[in-house]
């Protein structure tokens, strides 16, 4: 998979972000806040006590180990808008994308899927997704990580979720869900053990999107969920 980004798109993305910052229009990055069930939305099902364990409020960039099923029952509101971005046609990426698609299809979620090949297209599709301003942008797998690492930090008004990989230094608006063998952190950072295709199963993909969205809905963002 190509890891090179075209200079024009990169400059454009950074230019837009800089303009927003200088104009004072970029809101502060949302940070991990509250405890399970404290989202402020009485209609939102609480997270189970095992989601955070003994941790009251995760620190930024913290990794937590939620107990299996501790996110059960947390569902997005009707009409929740999600944009899914995938990169590549490898088996792991397909499995993750299928998991997000099934999750959305089982709920009243408005899903738009944008596909890409290589970093240039990931960047173009990510900027397109940000322009749509959905409730959540989901990136599937290792192929989106390098570009997401740059652009998410420049788009603090938007919530992002990466499943099956993680950002090396996530800002408060970028949440990740990983597990052993699905924890790629970026080119030049990760090892072969971080990307094992066989570790990405339909069951893992289903848990990843459900747990990740539950965390975002409860305002527990900018962290990494590690599924045991």
Separation CA 228–CA 208 (nearest Å): 11
Determine, yes or no, domain membership for 197: yes
The pLDDT assigned to 40 comes to 53
Contact 221, 159 (CB under 8 A): yes
Q: Each residue of 33-72: pLDDT tens digit?
A: 344 444 557 789 999 999 998 888 889 999 999 999 999 9
Determine, yes or no, domain membership for 1: no
Helical segments of the chain, H only: 7-22, 91-105, 119-132, 145-151, 202-217
The pLDDT assigned to 43 comes to 85
Which residue, among 99, 98, 105, 104, has the nearest Cα to 82 in the 3D structure?
A: 104
Angstrom CA distances, 127 to 113, 147, 184, stand at 14, 10, 22
Separation CA 29–CA 140 (nearest Å): 22
Separation CA 132–CA 111 (nearest Å): 12
User: How would you classify the pairing of strands 136-140 and 80-87?
Assistant: parallel
The pLDDT assigned to 24 comes to 40
* Residue appearing with tokens 């364990």: 53
Task: Count up the domains in the chain and report the number.
Answer: 1
Rounded to whole angstroms, the maximal C-alpha distance in the chain is 47
Determine, yes or no, domain membership for 205: yes
Instruction: State which residues of the chain have pLDDT below 50.
Output: 1-38
Domain with 50, as residue range(s), is 7-226
* Per-residue 3-state assignment (H helix, E strand, C coil) for 68-103: CCCCCCCCCCCCEEEEEEEECCCHHHHHHHHHHHHH
The pLDDT assigned to 156 comes to 96
Separation CA 95–CA 141 (nearest Å): 9
Separation CA 75–CA 104 (nearest Å): 10
Separation CA 18–CA 128 (nearest Å): 18
Determine, yes or no, domain membership for 2: no
Tokens of 213: 């969205």
Separation CA 218–CA 225 (nearest Å): 14
Determine, yes or no, domain membership for 29: yes
Helical segments of 1-90, H only: 7-22
Q: In CATH, what number is assigned to the domain containing residue 184?
A: 3.40.50.2300
């Amino acid at each position: 998979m190509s890891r090179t980004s075209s200079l024009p798109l990169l400059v454009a993305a950074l230019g837009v972000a800089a303009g927003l910052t200088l104009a004072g229009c970029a809101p502060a990055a949302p940070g991990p806040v509250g405890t399970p069930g404290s989202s402020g939305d009485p209609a939102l099902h609480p997270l189970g006590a095992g989601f955070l364990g003994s941790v009251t409020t995760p620190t930024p960039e913290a990794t937590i180990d939620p107990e299996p099923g501790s996110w059960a029952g947390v569902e997005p509101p009707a009409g929740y808008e999600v944009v899914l971005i995938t990169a590549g046609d490898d088996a792991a990426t397909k499995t993750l994308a299928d998991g997000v698609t099934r999750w959305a299809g089982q709920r009243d979620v408005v899903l738009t899927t944008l596909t890409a090949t290589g970093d240039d297209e990931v960047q173009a599709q990510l900027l397109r997704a940000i322009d749509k301003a959905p409730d959540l942008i989901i990136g599937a797998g290792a192929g989106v990580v390098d570009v997401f690492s740059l652009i998410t930090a420049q788009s603090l008004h938007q919530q992002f979720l990466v499943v099956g990989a993680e950002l090396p230094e996530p800002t408060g608006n970028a949440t990740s869900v990983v597990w052993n063998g699905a924890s790629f952190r970026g080119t030049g950072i990760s090892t072969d053990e971080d990307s094992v295709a066989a570790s990405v199963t339909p069951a893992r993909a289903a848990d990843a999107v459900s747990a990740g969205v539950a965390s975002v809905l409860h305002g527990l963002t900018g962290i990494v969920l590690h599924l045991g």
